[in-house]
Amino acid sequence: MKLYFLPGACSIGIHALLAEIGHPFEIEKAARSGTHEFESYKRVNPKGKVPALLRNDGSLLTEFPVIALYLARINPERGLIPTDIEGEIRVLEMTEYLVSTVHMQGYTRARRPEKFAPSESDYAAVKAMGLGIFQAGLDRAERQINGKDWLFEQMTIADFALFYLEHWSVVNGIGSLGQNCQTHHDRLWSKIEIRRAIESETMPSS
């Protein structure tokens, strides 16, 4: 399998998940929009975004929740998705909320207001709205973790969606992590295989 990523993008959540699972995989840096190489990447992934996972049969998976669910399902021994339907849909519900709402509607507004605002005069209002959505998501996760190590009773794919949001907050200074979320982030970041995977994204290729 090969993960297409961009350094520091939401693909760090899938990169961390692959590292946690522990099976061999490759990584390849995707091209950013506006670069000469971007059209080449779009031939691999017409959506032109990350994460994207090239499977061993040559087919491509896109979208964070789908890739995460696939990895959990093909590695059942890791227990990253509950086996009962109620448990599974609750984990998927939280994963989708973190990606589609907290990231896409919150963080993206706070960081890239030009995607949502018709004029520069609207940027401040868009940023404020985005930060509010982002912080509300972190606060919801903070309450859900309370008294546990993870969002649910065991580590699941939802924790890796939360991890990349927490990491963005830590690195970029957007939003504020409560103690539960900070500890959750640090618990995953302290795993050597995860830290090495994320740090490898910015290392020059040989």
- Its pTM stands at 0.95
CA distance 130 to 83: 35
CA distance 188 to 191: 5
For 96-117, how does the pLDDT look when each residue is reduced to its tens digit (9 = 90+)? 999 999 999 999 999 999 999 9
Is the confidence at residue 159, as pLDDT, over 60? Answer: yes
Q: Which domains does the chain have, with CATH numbers?
A: 2-78+193-200 (3.40.30.10), 85-191 (1.20.1050.10)
pLDDT at 63: 98
Amino acid identity of 199?
A: E
Q: Which of 165, 185, 183 is nearest to 174 (CA)?
A: 165
